[in-house]
Structure 1
Amino acid sequence: MRMTRTNGRTMSASLKGAALAVIFSTSAAAAAENAIRIALSSPPTTLDPHFHNLTPNSALSMHVFEPLFRIDEKSGRAAPGLAKSWEAPDERTWIVNLAEGVTFSNGKPFTANDVIYSICRIPTIKDSPGSFMGQIQAVENIEALSPHQIRITTKGPYPILPVDLADVMIVSAETAGAGAVTFGLKGCNGFVEGPTDKYNSTDLAVGTGPFKYTSFVPGEKIDLVANDKYREGKAVWDKVTLRIIPNDVARVAALLSHEVDLIERPPLQDLSRIKANDKLAVTGTVSERIIYLAFDVEQEPTPGIKGTDGKNPFKDKRVREAVTHAISRDVIVEKVMRDQAQSAGQLLSPGSFGYFETGFAPDSYDPEKAKALLSEAGYPNGFELVIGATNNRYVNDARIAETLAQMLTRVGIKTSVDASNFSIFSEKRNKYQFSSYLGGWGNGSREGIYTFRSLVATRNTKEGMGSSNRGRFSNAKVDNLLREAQRTNEEGKRLELFRKIAEIVKEEKAILPLHYEMATWAHSADIAVQPSADQRTVASRFSPKP
């Protein structure tokens, strides 16, 4: 272990003892006041629940805000949230009965007007890196039938509306200064803008959930306390501190020294050491997150490619197929992920509606076939490629990218990696500065439409289609099948449509599934953890052991 030094000298035993005393007294104080200190690996970028549809942001929002509907962990189906019940009298109409007697943390009452205001707000968000428009694209009208009942009309049959709206958090219209709001596709009457910076300052970040914000230091720390007006009673914790510690070594060190009580995404190489500590524990489950390799299939020339005379090789399906056969998913799972992952042959994870047990085995590792396909496509000597990647957003993400680079180099595609933190990576990806990149997608809804609509639908911001399709793959058959699936109530028929979409995606090699991550947390043995496949770190899912 590296020695700790102060002013060039080794820290004295007495000083180290004092430091440890502070650490343990801090831990004891946290326990005494019923507080939990959590270390996050990826920073939430905002307190605004409508600004950026990103897993760290969604997990953070769940502490403070609530949606109309929740996704049941076991069934994957919509369950009551702020909506206590609902019915669909016809294929385009939903009558939603809202929970009564609910207040926001600042004492403002929750009513139908807050639901209308929240949905009206989504199209007004400026410069969103990942919009929630896809979640409301089917909505044609929303009316308040009473203070606690609404009628939602969709543009056509849309059976998964409750699943879509499970991602839309409800904010307070009155806190934003709005009076009565009426919905309109071209703009809502009575709507008052609630700027994102007012949410980030906590002024407007007021919800009905179990906690409320007290401070937000971007990239460093978020403090919350229990919401004493929470409708389900006292929150499990009086105080929650979320620290942002992207560095794996530092995050584990914080856990081992009792500076924090729980960490997300413990590095794989440290799991055995953590498990051997009788004061700590590790809890996990297979996640809904797919790790994939995407290609730019539109730009020509495309960034990060050399040796092709300006051509974009990824516009040729044979090159994309060569790449998939150059990859050994088994090596990635066994060596890089230390068996803490599962090889993937399709975008949807096990347990999702639209995951198929047969017909979608992971593509085979066949480097000789990869070389032959490259030669057939006109690249017998390969070309040079830079893969974009994050370096702490996903488990071992940079190492995975480096392993992919080695595998591709062996078949003639001389590959290097541009790995950066998530904010820099996102900026480059959103500006289409990668010819290929390693990405991840978590389908918390477990509904196939959500994944297909975001990752492989033709990009259309007005419809909320292709919101995360940064390779700009476009296939008219996929789009038509997806639109039909969104209109189809009968689940058997929807599954048939999903299979057809999945078959096209697999055939076209539009995006290459690599593996499903494990959702893992390391924590004090005194804390009970309810693991969730959505990988969201939410304080209410953890509780002190009796």
Structure 2
Amino acid sequence: MHLRSLLAGVMLAVLAGSAPALAGKADDTLRVTLRDAIPNVDPYYNTQAAGLIIAIHVWDTLLIRDPETFELKPGLALEWKLVDDRTTEFKLRPDVKFHDGEPFTADDVVYTLNTIIADKKVATPSNYTWIEKAEKVDDLTVRVIAKKPFPAALAYLSSITPIWPKAYREKVGAEEFAKKPIGTGPYKIAAIDSSGEIRLERFDDYFAGSPKGKPAIRNIVFRAVADPTTQMAELIGGKADWIQDINADQFESLSKLPTVKTLRAEVQRIAYVNLAGGGRDNPDSPLKNIKVRQAIFHAIDRETMAKQFMPGGSGVPDIVCFDTQFGCDQSKAVHYDYDPEKAKALLAEAGYPNGFDTELYTYLTPSWGGAIQNYLKAVGINATIQQQAVAAVIKAAQEGKTPLAIAAWSGFGINEVSPYLQYFFTGNVLDQARDEEIHKLVDAGGSTNDEAARLKAYNEAFHLISERAHFLPLFSYVKNYGMSKDLNFKAFKDDWSRFYLATWN
């Protein structure tokens, strides 16, 4: 059924007084639908944005970032200080319990950090390679030691480093822990069923003084619904209370329904095309030629894509970063105008006057991939689209099988550029450029406490990334949300959906 017909049918039902009642408020259960299933809810073993959302509800970090100001506030740690240029000491809260009732101590922090830095199965190792080790001073004091000065340490420890329960995880093992995990967060996982539905219950013994606060809503149910039209139908029909990523052309129609309310908010997420200039997929790949990559940059009309796919204030940056982040300076990048004739000329200069065949991997909205496919075809590049699930695209990228990949970046909510640079330009499994000069600059910027030296290194790295056409930002996100009229939900700039702050009317 087309969305217009669906909306028309539901509108008639509403006007006739026969629309279904929304059940979320009635049984104090918030029903959230996500586009992608989460194969492993343990946050260290998935790279999906949805996985991070589960994580902030079930687990806590040493520090917790204020979503409005980005200020770091006490989380599992009450106090912290720099002992030397590589060592940070944390004084832990004495009143924190895990969901099984066991107390949280320094042993849990030491176990978590020392385990993840040694585990080759961790999904995003670049987030933790800076850690040398963690040491226990006493039951409520721990030290985290970096391999070398790492000025972003506190930012990483405040967002993407949740703490495991040592005793429980050692007892049940990693595989069972992923099926029945526990943390210290404001919600506990009540069940994960075979269909991938994840049920959370409010943890009534959650520690006082947490910046997250005590949740108002008792239960949350997360379900994966891949089809956007089905998501819409479930929201309209009362089976779901919250959806996101509503297509722009559907947003206004949905806003007119009396049982639903909508929200539009600019968030720190950027759609991009990553080009395999290092030739991991093919040692003879045309993408190894800088002129071919620059041709692709000129071939895509990013401004039109932003207006068409992200109305409401989307920007078109030249580098993947956000103005609030340390190290982000768009003026340091090379700008590429939309110029298909120049793209054709560059392809001819590179030895491909008739273009070439390639593959374009994506998990994002199919129309985005279709638009890029058409832009490339117009200059002679025939790109076959590989539309796959998030996990499949990430796996293919890690294996070096994605000549071109469309995806989105939000930076794990860390308010500086190092996560992006560490993730894509340090020679790891997601580095498609394999550019040693950029690698050295990223390393230099991430391993000194000298702010001026950091900025210099990051600016030079971003200039080379753009000049050598390794990574093309498409547009920033303006997110469209739909929700029950009974739900109070606030969107934040970092694109983390904090349902523990949501309330019913």
User: TM-score, structure 1 length as denominator?
Assistant: 0.84
1:76-475 matches, within 5 Å, as 76-125=70-119, 127-128=121-122, 130-131=123-124, 133-166=125-158, 167-177=160-170, 194-195=173-174, 197-202=175-180, 205-217=181-193, 220-232=196-208, 234-299=214-279, 302=282, 311-339=284-312, 341-360=314-333, 362-390=335-363, 394=364, 396=365, 398-443=366-411, 444-459=413-428, 467-469=429-431, 471=432, 473-475=433-435
Instruction: Please say if residues 45 and 219 of structure 1, whose CA atoms lie closer than 8 Å, have aligned partners that are also in contact.
Output: no
Cα gap change, 1:477/1:301 in structure 2, threshold over 3 Å: closer, same or farther?
A: closer
Query: How many Å apart are 1:405 and its aligned residue?
Result: 0.9
CA distance in 2, matches of 1:424, 1:300: 17
Q: Which amino acid aligns with 1:201?
A: K
User: Alignment partner of 1:494: what SS?
Assistant: helix
- Residues 258-296 of structure 1, C-alpha deviations (whole Å, 9 max, x = no match): 111111222222110122223322223222222111122
Query: How many Å apart are 1:2 and its aligned residue?
Result: 7.4
CA distance in 2, matches of 1:434, 1:519: 27
Cα gap change, 1:246/1:82 in structure 2, threshold over 3 Å: closer, same or farther?
A: same
- Residues 235-278 of structure 1, C-alpha deviations (whole Å, 9 max, x = no match): 22111111211110011111111111111222222110122223
- Give 5+ residue unaligned stretches, structure 1: 4-15, 179-192, 303-309, 460-466
Cα gap change, 1:218/1:165 in structure 2, threshold over 3 Å: closer, same or farther?
A: farther
User: Alignment partner of 1:294: what SS?
Assistant: strand
Query: How many Å apart are 1:441 and its aligned residue?
Result: 1.6
1:499-518 matches, within 5 Å, as 499-518=459-478
Cα gap change, 1:111/1:400 in structure 2, threshold over 3 Å: closer, same or farther?
A: same
- Residues 134-164 of structure 1, C-alpha deviations (whole Å, 9 max, x = no match): 2332222322222111122222222211112
CA distance in 1, matches of 2:35, 2:335: 29
Instruction: Please say if residues 236 and 259 of structure 2, whose CA atoms lie closer than 8 Å, have aligned partners that are also in contact.
Output: no
Query: How many Å apart are 1:451 and its aligned residue?
Result: 0.7
- Give 5+ residue unaligned stretches, structure 2: 4-12
Cα gap change, 1:97/1:513 in structure 2, threshold over 3 Å: closer, same or farther?
A: same
Query: How many Å apart are 1:359 and its aligned residue?
Result: 4.1
Cα gap change, 1:266/1:246 in structure 2, threshold over 3 Å: closer, same or farther?
A: same
CA distance in 2, matches of 1:102, 1:37: 28
Query: How many Å apart are 1:362 and its aligned residue?
Result: 4.7
CA distance in 1, matches of 2:143, 2:430: 30
Cα gap change, 1:63/1:42 in structure 2, threshold over 3 Å: closer, same or farther?
A: same
User: TM-score, structure 2 length as denominator?
Assistant: 0.90
Cα gap change, 1:301/1:229 in structure 2, threshold over 3 Å: closer, same or farther?
A: closer
CA distance in 2, matches of 1:529, 1:248: 20
Query: How many Å apart are 1:126 and its aligned residue?
Result: 5.5
CA distance in 2, matches of 1:252, 1:300: 40
Query: How many Å apart are 1:340 and its aligned residue?
Result: 6.0
CA distance in 1, matches of 2:308, 2:328: 26
User: Alignment partner of 2:166: what SS?
Assistant: coil
Q: Which amino acid aligns with 2:163?
A: I
- Residues 464-499 of structure 1, C-alpha deviations (whole Å, 9 max, x = no match): xxx532x2x122322222222222223343222211
Q: Which amino acid aligns with 2:130?
A: A
Residue 11 of structure 1 is matched in structure 2 by none
Instruction: Please say if residues 82 and 98 of structure 1, whose CA atoms lie closer than 8 Å, have aligned partners that are also in contact.
Output: yes
User: Alignment partner of 2:315: what SS?
Assistant: strand
Residue identity (%):
23
> What is the root-mean-square deviation of aligned Cα atoms in Å?
2.4
Instruction: Please say if residues 409 and 415 of structure 1, whose CA atoms lie closer than 8 Å, have aligned partners that are also in contact.
Output: yes
- Residues 436-474 of structure 1, C-alpha deviations (whole Å, 9 max, x = no match): 111222111122111111012222xxxxxxx532x2x12
User: Alignment partner of 1:175: what SS?
Assistant: helix
Q: Which amino acid aligns with 1:221?
A: E
Instruction: Please say if residues 40 and 178 of structure 2, whose CA atoms lie closer than 8 Å, have aligned partners that are also in contact.
Output: yes
Residue 68 of structure 1 is aligned with which of 42, 59, 62?
Answer: 62
Between the two structures, name the one with larger relative contact order (CA 8 Å, sep ≥ 6).
2
Instruction: Please say if residues 44 and 219 of structure 1, whose CA atoms lie closer than 8 Å, have aligned partners that are also in contact.
Output: no
User: Alignment partner of 2:481: what SS?
Assistant: strand
Query: How many Å apart are 1:512 and its aligned residue?
Result: 1.1
Residue 189 of structure 1 is matched in structure 2 by none
CA distance in 1, matches of 2:334, 2:228: 32
Cα gap change, 1:358/1:424 in structure 2, threshold over 3 Å: closer, same or farther?
A: closer
CA distance in 2, matches of 1:106, 1:415: 52
Q: Which amino acid aligns with 1:59?
A: I
Cα gap change, 1:358/1:147 in structure 2, threshold over 3 Å: closer, same or farther?
A: same
Instruction: Please say if residues 214 and 500 of structure 2, whose CA atoms lie closer than 8 Å, have aligned partners that are also in contact.
Output: no
CA distance in 2, matches of 1:280, 1:173: 43
Instruction: Please say if residues 520 and 531 of structure 1, whose CA atoms lie closer than 8 Å, have aligned partners that are also in contact.
Output: no
User: Alignment partner of 1:270: what SS?
Assistant: helix
CA distance in 1, matches of 2:94, 2:51: 27
Instruction: Please say if residues 374 and 382 of structure 1, whose CA atoms lie closer than 8 Å, have aligned partners that are also in contact.
Output: yes
- Residues 75-126 of structure 1, C-alpha deviations (whole Å, 9 max, x = no match): 4353322111211132122111111211111100000000011112214545
Instruction: Please say if residues 344 and 361 of structure 1, whose CA atoms lie closer than 8 Å, have aligned partners that are also in contact.
Output: no
CA distance in 1, matches of 2:202, 2:262: 26
Cα gap change, 1:168/1:229 in structure 2, threshold over 3 Å: closer, same or farther?
A: same
